[in-house]
Amino acid sequence: MRDFIARPEHGIVWISGASSGIGRALALKLAGEGYKVAVTARSHEKLVELQAEASGLDGSIVVLDGDVTDAEDMEHVMASIEYEHGTLAMVILNAAVYLPVHAEDLHRADFETSFAVNLSGVVNCLLPAIRHMKAKGQGQIAIVSSITGYGGLPMGAAYGATKAALINMAESLKFDLDKMGIRIQLVSPAFIDTPATDKSAFPMTALVSPEEAARQIAAGLKSQAFEITSPGRFTTLLKLARLLPYGAYFPLLNRLTGWRERPSSAGRHPATPHPAE
Residues 51/24, Cβ–Cβ less than 8 Å: no
Cα 214 to its chain centre, rounded Å, is 11
* Share of residues in the chain with pLDDT > 90 (%): 76
Instruction: Tell me the pLDDT tens digit for each residue of 30-42.
Output: 999 999 999 999 9
Mean pLDDT of 144-166: 95
The pLDDT of residue 202: 53
Average pLDDT, the chain: 89
Element (DSSP H or E) covering residue 56: none
Q: How confident is the model at residue 276 (pLDDT cuts 50, 70, 90)?
A: very low
Instruction: Tell me the pLDDT tens digit for each residue of 179-234.
Output: 999 999 999 998 777 655 554 555 556 678 899 999 999 999 999 999 998 776 77
Beta bridge partners of 90: 13, 140
Q: How confident is the model at residue 171 (pLDDT cuts 50, 70, 90)?
A: very high
Beta bridge partners of 61: 37
Q: Let me know the angle formed at the C-alpha of 175 by 145 and 225, rounded to the nearest 5 degrees.
A: 55
Residues 81/64, Cβ–Cβ less than 8 Å: yes
Handedness of CA 210, 216, 221, 226 (dihedral sign): negative
- Sheet of strand 88-93, all strands in order from the earlier edge strand to the far edge: 60-63, 36-40, 12-16, 88-93, 139-144, 182-189, 227-230
d(C-alpha 33, C-alpha 51), whole Å: 15
- pLDDT of 270 > 60? The answer is no
Instruction: Tell me the pLDDT tens digit for each residue of 113-139.
Output: 999 999 999 999 999 999 999 999 999
- Give the ranges where the chain is alpha helix by DSSP (H): 21-32, 44-53, 71-80, 108-114, 121-136, 159-180, 210-221, 232-242, 246-257
d(C-alpha 210, C-alpha 218), whole Å: 12
